[in-house]
Structure 1
């Protein structure tokens, strides 16, 4: 019995549960490049509708009258845009952006005809994203980029996302407001670091201490080499960070702002790093690694390679759970450092330079999250002045 030929038409399900059909068809060889050409058409409501469209294209190809059509759907326009977008951003940014489209934007809008996308449609999907996601505005911005690209290519005249109302207080945002602030006060930080020293390997403790006392991003700290550490001047040079690329691959890239900076480090943290360097030399020699090279990572895994970014959370949360401490994230240690700098009397400019903020607004946003003790100090100064 002859084997039944697999159908070119496949079904798929939209985010709202509706079924659609798509197909991929061979178009021949591109005379300009010599490469095989294929196109994918999707969005058909019935299998028969897809069969009819497929038959028409195959007939046109056979007669030599088929010409590749302009992008008709949001998905097809995205497919054109993403190729250009990849050339303009870091690999880690590209991977993150593609995830936004795969998980949120394309399931909602991929099958829409470009010329049928109106403001009400865009508002509807933004409201859906906002009801579930804390980054709804970010999702909306990326969705709008594809239509901006369509305007440049002449597919549409205006971008309906421009007029979407984003000032919506959603349940998700209300819940976020009820959560604890993502930083420690002075006493909480001291307690946290004591618990880290008691419960963690010295490498993990040294890393968390460094994050808390420098305000570095975890991606920057994990990219540091001993060559970045100036012991004589008590300084660290921060010029790179870890990025996550395709299939989770870790690689080194410039810092988030693209600007290197050099910061001072306190004597106690310097002593802790020196002690870790001594321990590292002994432990990694047993593992077969020479850690005395200038480009040796200060913090590396057992294979002497870059540490996964998620490992920092695991170390932190293990201590927090064991000692029943307030839960904050590794980025919360950066906010902690910033807040305590303000509490200690540092100026906005000093904090901005130390944390590597290119925009003073970022520093000011964190300034609004200073600890309650600092806020109480402000009102006490006011009362003392009146008295």
Structure 2
């Protein structure tokens, strides 16, 4: 029989249950388990019934022998039912590359705080997104506590090392600049217009002039563009997994947004729509995804890596400042700040959930904006 109890946390009131799970084969003594974190008593009762069935069927494994890999698989099986396929792929990749090679074969009860700290320190030497790695690993340990596999979380008080370059006074290394200035943008777009097919030129123009993510642009349909109002609706994103394409909703409500378009961009889109319709007529109309704005010649969705490859080719050929596709989004934000847009305006246009993300870009704005700030101060003082 299980007993149920309500308890209070910072997140509110939750439920737990305690249950006798039989004889521990290692100690020969009876053992109990406590499972926590259920939102309702009904949810706790359902979990208790499932556990009772596992005990009756002989499927209960001694928690002391659980490896991190086993707990991860159990956690991910449940967690994956609550997240999108694209998020599942991202999480699995992070665990496969960084976490499971270091933790997977270890018994989870033997993992110490010191080992967790060493693991985070090692990862910090090779990647900048180490805090996200800590967050992901932490979810598995929290799940282990919830399932009464652990009593304490060894990852809880681990600190994330700061990048030493961020703590050194002085100018940022020009080679590390991941955005373009106005003159570099003009040169790049002149090059794409001259050397790439028109579809690709329009895509790069949109990346720069809207600050949209590449997945958002590749998922655009013509009904997302309002030529009368001069606006574009970004409400879905293209996800590619093992050769299949999925048009899915964005991760956050802030990512679903309506932004304005300038006249030049609207004219480019109208011209592209005409060219696309001509290609559709030439094919006899036998093309899938006819309403999608940007597709391959056969009408199928474009590969997400395609734009990265084209950008690299142009940069190498013309010896441009090396930036990433995401750097074009950063470029759009930087130039918006130069043009006088407020932080709130930039946040809404880029679809940032947290204004801190926008502030991070603002702190790395171009030298032109810094010069303008000084000039504004001087003009005000001299009035």
- Same fold, TM-score > 0.5, yes or no: yes
1:253 aligned residue (225, 240, 248): 248
For the Cα contact (< 8 Å) 1:130–1:170, is it kept in 2?
A: no
Partner SS state of residue 190, structure 1: helix
Do residues 305 (structure 1) and 300 (structure 2) align?
A: yes
Partner SS state of residue 219, structure 2: coil
Partner SS state of residue 163, structure 1: coil
Deviation, structure 1 residue 89:
1.0
Deviation sequence 1:151-200 (CA, Å, 0-9, x none): 000111221111112124368999x9664321111111111111110110
Partner of 1:53: none
Q: How far, CA to CA, are the matches of 1:158 and 1:248 in structure 2?
A: 42
Partner of 2:265: 269
Distance 1:65 1:292, change over 3 A: closer
Partner SS state of residue 364, structure 2: coil
Distance 1:219 1:124, change over 3 A: same
Do residues 112 (structure 1) and 96 (structure 2) align?
A: no
Distance 1:335 1:90, change over 3 A: same
Partner of 1:205: 201
Do residues 69 (structure 1) and 62 (structure 2) align?
A: yes
Partner SS state of residue 165, structure 1: coil
Partner of 2:177: 181
Q: How far, CA to CA, are the matches of 2:284 and 2:143 in structure 1?
A: 52
Do residues 164 (structure 1) and 153 (structure 2) align?
A: no
**Where does structure 1 differ by over 6 angstroms across 4 or more consecutive aligned residues?**
171-174
Gaps of 5+ in 1: 1-63
Partner of 2:314: 319
Do residues 94 (structure 1) and 88 (structure 2) align?
A: yes
For the Cα contact (< 8 Å) 1:131–1:171, is it kept in 2?
A: no
For the Cα contact (< 8 Å) 1:239–1:261, is it kept in 2?
A: yes
Gaps of 5+ in 2: 1-56
Q: How does 1:10-159 map to 2 (within 5 A)?
A: 68-70=61-63, 72-159=66-153
Deviation sequence 1:127-164 (CA, Å, 0-9, x none): 11112222222112111111110000011122111111
Q: How far, CA to CA, are the matches of 1:226 and 1:74 in structure 2?
A: 48
Deviation, structure 1 residue 345:
0.9
Partner SS state of residue 105, structure 1: helix
Q: How far, CA to CA, are the matches of 1:159 and 1:221 in structure 2?
A: 42
Partner of 1:345: 340
Deviation, structure 1 residue 385:
3.9
Say how many residue pairs are matched.
321
2:187 aligned residue (181, 184, 191): 191
Distance 1:65 1:119, change over 3 A: closer
Q: How does 1:277-296 map to 2 (within 5 A)?
A: 277-289=273-285, 296=291
Partner of 1:5: none
Q: How far, CA to CA, are the matches of 1:288 and 1:69 in structure 2?
A: 65
For the Cα contact (< 8 Å) 1:284–1:302, is it kept in 2?
A: no
Q: How far, CA to CA, are the matches of 1:341 and 1:242 in structure 2?
A: 26
Distance 1:345 1:327, change over 3 A: same
Partner of 1:45: none
RMSD over aligned Cα atoms: 2.5
Q: How far, CA to CA, are the matches of 2:239 and 2:167 in structure 1?
A: 29
For the Cα contact (< 8 Å) 1:220–1:242, is it kept in 2?
A: yes
Partner SS state of residue 176, structure 2: coil
Deviation, structure 1 residue 262:
1.1
Partner SS state of residue 161, structure 1: coil
